[in-house]
Chain A
Amino acid sequence: MSQSLDAYLILSGLLFAIGTFGFLARRNAIAMLMSIELMLNAVNLSIVAFGAFVPGLAGDGALIALFVMAVAAAEATVGLAIVIAIYRNKRTPLVDEYASMRE
C-alpha cells in the first residue's frame, strides 16, 4: 500500500476535497486561508509522490515542492495581512459581513 502511487494520489485527492469544502463553507476568513493551506499541501503531496515514483523525476519533484512551499509562504503572508487590514475596518473576520461592495 505504501509502495503504490495510487494510494498517495487518493490521499492527496481526499485532502484537497476537505480543503475545498472548508474554503466554500467556512464563514471565517482565516479558516478559509487555512483551507487554502490544506489544498496547497495536498497538491504538494501529489507532486512529491510523482517525483518519488517516476524515476526520471527523482529530484525534480522534491524541488518543485520546495518552490510551492515558498510561494505558499508568500501567499499566507499577504493573505493574512489583507485579512488583518479588513478586520481593522470592519471589526469582524466573517466574510459574509463584508458587503460594502454590494451596497
Chain B
Amino acid sequence: MALPQTVPFIGWAWDDLIFLVLAGLMLGGGLMVVLGRDIIRSGLFMVLSFAALAGIYVLLGAPLVAAAQVLIYIGAISVLILFAIMLTQSKAGPSNLVFHHQSWAGALAAVGLAVIIIVVVIYTDWPGAATGVVASATTLIANLLFTDYVLAFEVVSVLLLAAVIGGVFLAKREDSPDPGARAVDEPTLGRLPAPRDES
C-alpha cells in the first residue's frame, strides 16, 4: 500500500508533518527538563528530547549524525547523567524550591535571546544556501575525516583520554588512613565495603 503524496485532510507534505511533530517533541521535552520538579523525570525527558533531535537529523539528510546522537547522547551521556542524579539524591527528596529567587531575570534573558535569534534568522538572507536539503553521504564524511580533519580526529581522541582520566581522578574517593574511623552515616557509594577481619 503506497502512501499518498500529501497528508490526507491537511494537504501538507509528509516531511513537514514529521518535522513539526519532532520539533514539538524536542521543545516539549526540553521545557520539561528545565521546568520539571522531579530531577529524575527531567533526565528522562532529556532522553526524549535527544531522540526527537536524532529524528530531525535524519530529516536533514545526516543519518550518521543521527546514529551518533543515539549512541553518544542517549546511550552514554544520558545514562551518565542519570547515574549522577542517583548518586546525588538527598534523602529529603526533591527540594521545594526548584528555581533560584532571581529566576525571573533568567527567564527574561532567555526570552530576549530567543527573540533576538528569531529576528536575526528571519531577516538574514543566507548567501549560498540551497532551497532544499542536500544529503551528506557517509563515504564523503569518512574521506573528509581521514584527510582534512585527521589532526582534529587525533586531538579529539587524546581529549577523550584526558577526560576519562580526569573524571576518574576527580570522582575517586580519598582513602582514609583508618577505614574504621569513617563516619557512620557516610554512604559507601562507588566502592566496595572494606574486608572485615573475622579473627
Q: Which residues of A contact B (CB under 8 A)?
A: 1-3, 5-11, 13-31, 33-35, 37-38, 41, 44-45, 48-49, 51-56, 58-63, 65-67, 69-78, 80-85, 87-88, 91-94, 96
Contacts and interface: CB of A to CB of B under 8 A. Distances in A.
B16 A84 contact: no
B134 interface: yes
B166 A52 contact: no
B132 A3 contact: yes
Contacts of B129: 5, 53-54
Interface of B: 13, 15-16, 18-20, 23, 26-27, 30-31, 33-34, 39, 42-43, 46, 49-50, 53, 56-57, 59-62, 64-65, 68-69, 72-73, 76-77, 80-81, 84-85, 87-88, 90, 95, 97-100, 103, 105-107, 109-111, 113-114, 117-118, 121-122, 126, 128-137, 140-141, 143-145, 149, 152, 156, 159-160, 162-164, 166-171, 173
A76 B126 contact: no
Contact of A37 (B13, B77, B132): B77
Contacts of B122: 6, 10
B160 A73 contact: yes
Contacts, number: 257
B145 A63 contact: yes
Given A24-B105, A26-B100, 11 more contacts: A11-B23, A15-B26, A17-B111, A21-B109, A27-B100, A30-B81, A59-B143, A66-B64, A69-B69, A74-B160, A81-B169
A51 B62 contact: yes
B121 A9 contact: yes
A13 B135 contact: no
B156 A61 contact: no
Given A11-B27, A15-B30, A62 B65 contact: yes
B27 A67 contact: no
Contacts of B149: 63, 67
B72 to A, nearest CB: 5
A92 to B, nearest CB: 6
Contacts of B99: 25-27
Contacts of A92: 90
A53 to B, nearest CB: 5
